Amino acid sequence: MQRDDESERETRVSGERAAQLEYSELQAAMLDEDKRRRKAAKIIAVLAHFLGRDAAKPGEVLSGLTVGDVGCSAGFIADELAAAGARHTLGLDIDVPGLRRASDRFGGRVGFVCADGSRLPFPDGSIDVLVFNHIYEHVVDPDAVIADMHRVLSDDGVLYLGLGNRLGVMEPHYKLPFLSYLPPAAADRYVRAFGRADHYYERFRTRPGLRRMLADFHVWDYTFPVLAAPERFAGGELFPGAAGRAAKATLERTPRPALRALLPVVPTYLWVATKTPRRPLGAPLPQPPEPVRTSR
């Protein structure tokens, strides 16, 4: 897989980075059960639409499938995937305290494994659905993780991806504007100046970099479908009250070429990827999913 400039930069600095162990001990958001379960509901709704399954029957969306949550931490999303009817549900992470909490609460229906995402302990083609939600920026070598997920995914399997954009203005972990735009040394100084951390570990990529990272997959973009029809994807309005209703109406009616012009700076992309060509099977949406042109 050809590397873009960002991943080449990642290679140069990877020797200075270590795996983010015990991440749930550092980021309280990983233990916010309500928020994590809301994220899971959105993930399951997107998968239901892509697979053409009835989202009104949430306990059957993943019926008969083997599902893995890569970067599961405390296990809330994995637990929801199990509740969506998965035949087998697996949660993987290197966050030992998070895995311990997950196993204590949900080990009866989810198998939790301490494993590096670049060396998944599964046979080739053995997983039907993988979830990789806002994880890539935390790992040392995201290209290696993506490659191993490609290996373990079945030929007709599905990979759900929540991907932060380097050009999103507000950095999501430390809530500092333009933090992800900066080179590593400047970003370190920025987080220290505001007392947020000693070091800025995360490494985001731009949309072109993410497209190259997924070059071996066929990808559909659900970003605008979810924003324009949040009620169909277990979400709420972008903003409360009249502002939210107006924003939703605008997104529903805006011509797609105008929305595409915003893609370089959208803070988060929601993509569904497959190893072989597949199309979304769900009902028509105000803003339908569109294919993403991946490139080598």
The model's pLDDT over 163-217, given as tens digits with 9 standing for 90+, comes to 999 999 999 999 999 999 999 999 999 999 999 999 999 999 999 999 999 999 9
**Tell me, what DSSP letter sits at residue 205?**
B
Model confidence at 21, in pLDDT bands (50, 70, 90)?
Answer: low
What type of residue sits at position 216?
D
pLDDT of the residue at 55:
86
Q: Which residues contact 96 (CB under 8 A, 6 or more apart)?
A: 21, 22, 114
pLDDT of the residue at 2:
37
pLDDT, greater one: 5 or 56: 56
Burial class (CB in 10 A: 0-12, 13-18, 19+), 271: buried
pLDDT, greater one: 23 or 106: 106
CA dihedral over 30, 159, 86, 92, signed as positive or negative: negative
pLDDT of the residue at 22:
56
pLDDT of the residue at 238:
55
Model confidence at 10, in pLDDT bands (50, 70, 90)?
Answer: very low
What type of residue sits at position 78?
A
pLDDT of the residue at 242:
73
The span from the CA of 30 to the CA of 45, in Å, is 21
Structure tokens at 67: 């599902």
What type of residue sits at position 173?
H
- Asked if residue 227 lies in contact with residue 252, where contact means CB atoms within 8 angstroms, the answer is no
The span from the CA of 34 to the CA of 40, in Å, is 10
The span from the CA of 158 to the CA of 9, in Å, is 29
Nearest to 184 by CA among 16, 20, 22, 5: 16
pLDDT of the residue at 245:
75
- Asked if residue 137 lies in contact with residue 109, where contact means CB atoms within 8 angstroms, the answer is no
Q: pLDDT of 51-94, one tens digit each?
A: 999 988 989 999 999 999 999 999 999 999 999 999 999 999 99
Please state the pTM of the whole predicted model.
Answer: 0.90
pLDDT of 4 higher than 50: no
The lowest-confidence range among 124-128, 179-183, 231-235, 271-275 is: 231-235
